[in-house]
Structure 1
Amino acid sequence: MKARRNRIALLCALLIPVAVHADPGKPTPPPNAAPAVPAPDAKPPAKPFEFADVELKARELAGKPYARDDAGMPEFLGQLDYDQYRDIRYKADKALWKDEGLPFQIQAFHRGFIFKDRVSINIVDHGSATRLAYSPELFDYGKNQFPAPLPPDLGFAGLRFHYPLRRDEVYDEVAVFLGASYFRAVGLGQTYGLSARGLALDTGLAKAEEFPIFREFWVQKPGQNAGELVVYALLDSPSVTGAYRFTLRPGLDLTLDVASRLYFRKAVERVGIAPLTSMFFHGENTDRFMDDFRPEVHDSDGLLLGRSTGEWVWRPLNNPRQLRISVFKDTKPSGFGLMQRDREFDHYQDLEAQYHRRPGAWVEALGDWGPGAVYLIEIPSDAEKYDNIVAFWVPDQPATEGKEFRFDYRLHFAQEEYTAVSGGKVVATRIGAAEPGDNQNRKIVVDFGSPSLKMLSPKAKVGAEVSASSGKIGNLVVHKNEENGTWRLSFDLEPVPAEKDKDKVPVELRAMLKSGQDVLTETWVYQWNAR
């Protein structure tokens, strides 16, 4: 534990505050409530618990009809609003392993509000898995007053993990698993932003999306000096079951090694592997008026792709007027991620949300994923409370009944991109009218920056390669911005006039900076839609 001393302060905001409030009116636990902490086993079992046990459970579950476990919760808990639910807090002094001085601690979430599914939590110690028992005594209910006692077998809604990032005696929240198969994580100095999911099913199709849930967790008890925590999870939905192993490593950036095994009850049209979910309300590339004092509001500002060809691609995000779906075909990609490149507070001006401190999430593919495509789905949104951006990998192999999938990957929650793009990165995208009052043609401005670009003379022979799937490109200019050392590409897009709204086809744009035949930057791609 001494190795973690003298670290800089963690500034990340908690998903739900963990401060304990006095609550004289909270429900009294029933006299027969089960213990909150499992008793240790003196003897190891004949067969220690392992990932193969979760795989077997998932495989067997796939052969049975789907049965959701959302019963047993009193109706009054389901009627709680957001603020009332936030007022229910796990007592910090009841955190699992707190009294043992282990490097990790666990707290659970109460069922209620929109979190109706019962989630079982197990602790694996010396090879034995023991169920963590629910008790109302574990929670502070704040100002909530309930009309009846809470049932002793209510169960939990999810869990979260704490780890001392700053100093040994201060445990900071580093990861949360709550709601369906959603989870979030933060490293040092980060605040919660985008989410990851265990799986996305039929997202972006003209039918209802299916949301699998993590219905059961097993947490491996760590050693006294452990720097990582192993968590197993059982995923379930009407169409698929799954076994997951998460290896969580907190630090300056937090990484999660994910092993997923999927078993299909029935065919699924679109399976999204390693899905990331984020929010983009408006940004520097928003070309319509937003009545907001903040210049930008988003958890992520772009999709980064590492292609198998060695090409790096940056796709700025947008809040479109119509649903947008972009597909990037590939085989053996190095990875993809939803990133937050803009780290300037002045660009957000939000003291509470602190968008400039929100991490990006990079999915590093492990092993051979085979052919497939990265999907980016952008959904129109009228408020920042909605997650309207989704990115995931869709394998070419069909997900038919009885099929099994295996995908391994590493998730990086980081403020700075751990990937090293060899050359200039896109640092800004701006779009407006080509001329004042012109509602047809667009002026598009892309800024590229890197230490090597900054060293180039303003007289260097830097040009651009720009293409459009339709329309015309004109007034192409490349020059150095001597104010900050970036290089600016600007051009006009003259789209093909559409006779009717249904004829408005999105324009796919690509651009990069070059010097002769040498590529100087990553590839900027964008999808522009007419109003």
Structure 2
Amino acid sequence: MAVRALDGDPAGSTPPLRRARFLKDKNTVKTRTIWFLWSILLLSVPLPGTPASEPGPEPPPAKPFDFADVEQKARELAGKPYVRDEAGMPDFLAQLDYDQYRDIRYKPDKALWRDEGLPFQVQAFHRGFMFKDRVVINVVDRGVATQLAYSPELFDFGKNQFPAPLPADLGFAGLRFHYPLRRDPVMDEIAVFLGASYFRAIGLGQVYGLSARGLALDTGLAKAEEFPIFREFWIEKPGKDATALTLYALLDSPSVAGAYRFIIRPGLDLTMEIASHLYFRKAVERVGIAPLTSMFFHGENTDRFMDDFRPEVHDSDGLLLGRSSGEWVWRPLNNPRQLRISVFKDIKPAGFGLLTRDRDFDHYQDLEAQYHRRPSAWVETLGDWGPGAVYLIEIPSDAEKYDNIVAFWVPDEPATEGKEFRYDYRLHFFLDEFTALGGGKVLATRVGAAESDGATRKIVVDFGSPTLRMLSPRAKIEAEISASSGKIAHPVVHKNEENGTWRLSFDLQPEKDKDPVELRALLKAGKDSLTETWVYQWNAR
């Protein structure tokens, strides 16, 4: 008789005794397994009166984002080949003209922090027209940096009609900042970073004019100028009562990478505290630190006919220098017939700037451009800048649309491969000039033909200050004048009792074929200087 198999045994394969032992062994294994698991659980629970084991150390908190992170990025970037990020922009955006590009606007209701009621708001610029580089924008909130995502929904494209959808990862071209300058709910635009490393800023009652740049490379040389770009920004989220905004920027170009920090303080006059750290991939012949770029088409000192109903057309009318010796130097700007480069050597300068001193609308007569409201810009040096020179470059121009004036600091130390430069400065944008900058100031420079002959030039310089205004017309005021060539004749100093200024006039008799002529003048009372030093470059060609 066949026996039924138990627990999966094949029928008839196990005798009864063998089956009994098998069942017993199986129960024993189960029992031992259960006790083993319980022992593990019991060992993991501390017995009464036994101290629990100490928890392991917590991982350190993440380091908040700061300027050192940008410096590290710039240092690493300088160690790699330069790669420009212009990819991903459709041809139809690159072919936009100026007016079409201006018709693309960031939607105000999409502005960063608008819904949070913070004192600053941020808008971005769309890529297109001449702004082809992709610019990455990050927001730093409580030490954590997050990239701002691009979306076509952020923009109003106006009348533009595009033949294809815009790429989802197109990116931005730059950014702009808003702040309530008038202390009311209306947000005023205060600064723009757009195009290469250019940026502009304005205070209360000002309109955009001259530009600043992160860096100038090989400007004014007989080869192509190199234009670095700000390829990435980080914006620190401000508090509800903030009066300043911190911006970081990563600069890049074939020759150099750099880290920048801007602390922007808006107000009646806008200031930026700027820290820069440069890392050179390769040697650069001329490095321009804290460059300013402006426009001078014609002015009161233009000695050739300009077919223009407006008496003057310019963003700035002079270069001011604060020398380490305590001397203040004013150099009127001009639109030359040929390229001019003026070099002012110094050690540890107080600063330099491109200024507009003439604020009289009647001297411009331009209701649209409002040149009388365009800001001056002053570079206040911080720390030891060492030996170097301020360069002023004036480029011939046949239209007001061209920026033909550049000023910057060039250090004596050569910029070689692997070199690092650090420069800190404070950049001021203002209408009314600082009262601390010198005594009597140059108010006007005029040049024309003298009565004696066509070659001799009559030069007139007006000086003014509260002190000069109080002086008697009979005060013994003399002029100290010098010229690099030619002859100075008929110097006259007298007070203009119509407005309280003092006028210096003299004739310059130039020598044939000795251009240009460098002129210097100031007013003195005995050994005391009453005015800043007027310097001018006259050229017959």
Provide TM-score, normalisation by structure 1. 0.90
**Is 2:181 the counterpart of 1:165?**
yes
Map of 1:41 onto structure 2? none
**1:516 Cα deviation from its structure 2 partner:** 1.1
Q: 1:442 aligns with which of 452, 457, 465?
A: 457
CA distance, structure 2, for counterparts of residue 435 and residue 177 of structure 1 = 50
Distance 1:137 1:267 in 2: 44
Helix, strand or coil at the partner of 1:459: coil
Q: Does 1:190 align with 2:206?
A: yes
Query: Which of 490, 502, 522 is the equivalent residue of 1:475?
Result: 490
Question: How far does residue 423 in structure 1 lie from its aligned partner after superposition?
Answer: 2.0
Runs of 4+ residues over 3 Å off in structure 1: none
From 169, 174, 177, the equivalent of 2:193 is 177
The partner residue of 2:442 within 426, 429, 434 is 426
Q: What SS does structure 2 have at the residue aligned with 1:394? A: strand
Q: Hey, what's the Cα distance between the residues in 1 that align with 2:411 and 2:183?
A: 43
User: Is the CA contact 2:442–2:534 (under 8 Å) kept in the aligned structure 1?
Assistant: yes
SS of equivalent residue, structure 2 residue 303: coil
CA contact (8 A) 2:515 2:538 kept: no
* AA aligned opposite 2:523: L
Is the aligned partner of 1:523 residue 2:538?
no
Alignment partners' CA distance in 2, 1:419 and 1:259: 26
- The Cα of 1:418 is off from its aligned counterpart by 2.0
Q: Which residue of 2 aligns with 1:28?
A: none
Residue of structure 2 equivalent to 1:208: 224
Once residues 113 and 47 of structure 1 are traced to their aligned partners in structure 2, the CA distance between those partners, rounded to angstroms, is 39
Partner of 1:314, secondary structure, is: strand
Whether the 8 Å CA contact 1:45–1:128 is kept in 2: the answer is no
Secondary structure at the counterpart of residue 203 of structure 1: coil
Query: 353, 370, 378: which is aligned to 2:394?
Result: 378
* Cα deviation, residue 419, structure 1: 5.0
Higher relative contact order at CA 8 Å, sep ≥6: structure 1 or structure 2?
1
1:67-466 alignment, distance < 5 Å: 67-435=83-451, 438-466=453-481
In structure 1, the partner of 2:31 is none
Structure whose alpha-carbon radius of gyration is higher: 2
Greater shift in the superposed pair: 421-430 or 305-314: 421-430
Cα deviation 1:257-298 (Å, max 9, x = unaligned): 000000000000000000000000000000000000000000
Q: How far apart, in 1, do the equivalents of 2:187 and 2:232 lie? A: 25
CA distance, structure 1, for counterparts of residue 213 and residue 406 of structure 2: 10
Gaps of at least 5 residues in structure 2 are 1-59
Please tell me whether residue 514 in structure 1 is matched to residue 524 in structure 2.
Answer: yes
RMSD, aligned α-carbons: 0.9
Question: Is this contact kept in 2: 1:337–1:360, CA < 8 A?
Answer: yes
Which whole-Å CA distance do the structure 2 matches of 1:45 and 1:284 have between them?
63
- Of 506, 510, 518, 1:495 maps to 510
SS state at 2:181 partner: strand
Superposed CA deviations along residues 467-488 of structure 1, whole A, max 9, x for unmatched, are 0001100011101111111000
Q: Which moved more, 1:422-431 or 1:308-317?
A: 422-431
Q: What amino acid sits opposite 2:487 in the alignment?
A: K
Counterpart in the other structure of 2:16 = none
Alpha-carbon offset, residue 45 of structure 1: 5.8
Counterpart-to-counterpart distance in 1, 2:329 and 2:227: 29
Q: Could you tell me how far apart the structure 2 residues matched to 1:362 and 1:310 are?
A: 16
The SS at the match of 2:74 is helix
Q: What amino acid does structure 2 have at the position aligned with 1:165?
A: L
How many aligned residue pairs are there?
A: 482
The one-letter code of the counterpart of 2:273 is: D
Identify the residue that residue 35 of structure 1 maps to in structure 2: none
Q: Secondary structure at the match of 2:175?
A: strand
1:48 is paired with a residue of what secondary structure? coil
Letter aligned with residue 507 of structure 2: D
Aligned residue type for 1:78: A
Deviation of 1:167 (Å): 2.8
Deviations, residues 464-515 of structure 1 (Å, cap 9, x unaligned)? 00000011000111011111110000000011112xxxxx421110000011
2:138 is paired with a residue whose SS is strand
Deviation at 1:168, TM superposition (A): 3.4
For 1:181-202, what per-residue CA distance to the aligned partner results, in whole angstroms no more than 9, with x for missing partners?
0000000000000000000000
Q: Matched residues in 2 for 1:302 and 1:321: separation?
A: 18
Matched-pair contact (CA < 8 Å) for 2:319–2:330: yes
What is the letter of the counterpart of residue 80 of structure 2?
A: K
What residue identity is the alignment partner of 1:210?
E
Q: Secondary structure at the match of 1:170?
A: coil
| 1:306 partner letter | G
One-letter amino acid of the counterpart of residue 203, structure 1: T
Deviation at 1:441, TM superposition (A): 1.2
- State the alpha-carbon separation in 1 of the partners of residues 347 and 504 from structure 2: 30
Q: Distance in 2 between matches of 1:167 and 1:391?
A: 34
Conserved? CA contact 2:342–2:391, under 8 Å: yes
